[in-house]
Amino acid sequence: MTVLLGLLAALSVGTSDFLGGLASRRANPVVVTAASSLAGFPMVFLAGLVVVGEVRVADVAWGAFGGVALGAGLVSLYAGYARMRVGIAAPVAGVGAAALPVMVESLLGNDVLSPTAITGVLLGLLAIGLVSIARSEQQGTVGGSVLYGLGGAAGIGTFFLCLAYSGEDSGLWPIAAARASGFAVLAVIIAARWSALSTSPRGRANRRTRPAGPSEAVARAARERSEQERESPPRGAKGSHLLADGLVVWPHVIGIAALVTAGNALFLTATRVGSTSVAAVLTALFPAVTVFWAWVVFRERLRRVQMLGLGVALVAVALIAAG
């Protein structure tokens, strides 16, 4: 059951990641993430009323802290994508996010896995890294790319742990708290960024030219938006761009919110019926799902290393299930 729930969580999160990539072609990725967090809160709140669970301060605190950590981790990862080498930051973040719960649970003695399952977990970590490797034209340093990736890993991995440590009878309330606190963090960061840009002519120029994400498609979309910005009236432009970013991709945002909420709930359930380490590694296989959808929808050519990663992932899942 833990394996099944973990794989379903990976499917949900990976599909939401693919939708996030589509939305980020037309809007700033951080704005997309904040909007999906805001849209996800009423979803999980209503679901929390249906699912039996007690509202306790400790469980809500775990969820809120996890949401803050996740928001900070995503910001670190986005900064690494924009400034450093995506091909280094992405796999470091993916492997680190899965490895952190495994290491913590092992040190605390909470997870006792069979040799077969341990082998599967290790292969799963390898698969995450292989599938996440991407080409990048960025010229950032290797050390800087690793640091940004580790920041993303720490945030996402901490989020996994916080959900796992919430009470088994807390229902979905930890996830609701995480969505609320995550949105608050991203909203503050967006406000601070736009406030700084509004007082800096150089910042306004950078806003017009800096790519909005790691892929070439996102970079092209950012350049197209910059051309439109040059022709738009400057008065009130910053606020209108934020509003436009949220409105133009709202169907994607709703889909992202629903899928991420479902993925979080599936992961939370997986940790309550079985091993946190296994659930974290399987859920962190979501990049494989994202790559798969890119291949199906856009016919993107898979690199050999990614194909190898998909094969390793299948072996890892089989070993974990057998163990």
Task: Quick: pLDDT tens for 235-251.
Answer: 344 444 544 555 567 88
Token digits for 307? 């194909």
Q: Taking a C-beta distance cutoff of 8 angstroms, is the pair 200, 307 a contact?
A: no
Please tell me whether the overall predicted TM-score, pTM, comes out greater than 0.85 for this model: no
CA–CA separation, 98 vs 156, rounded Å? Answer: 8
For tokens 């990862």, the residue is: 77
Q: How far apart (Å, rounded) are the C-alpha atoms in residues 19 and 87?
A: 20
Q: Which pLDDT does position 222 carry in this prediction?
A: 42
Side chain identity, residue 267: F
What band does 61 get if pLDDT is binned at 50, 70 and 90? Answer: very high
pLDDT band at 140 (very low <50, low <70, confident <90, very high): low
CA distance 73 to 182: 10
DSSP reduced 3-state for 202: helix
Q: Tokens at residue 148, please?
A: 């940004």
Angstrom distance (rounded) from CA 185 to CA 187: 5
Least confident of 104-108, 137-141, 176-180, 311-315: 137-141
pLDDT of residue 201: 57
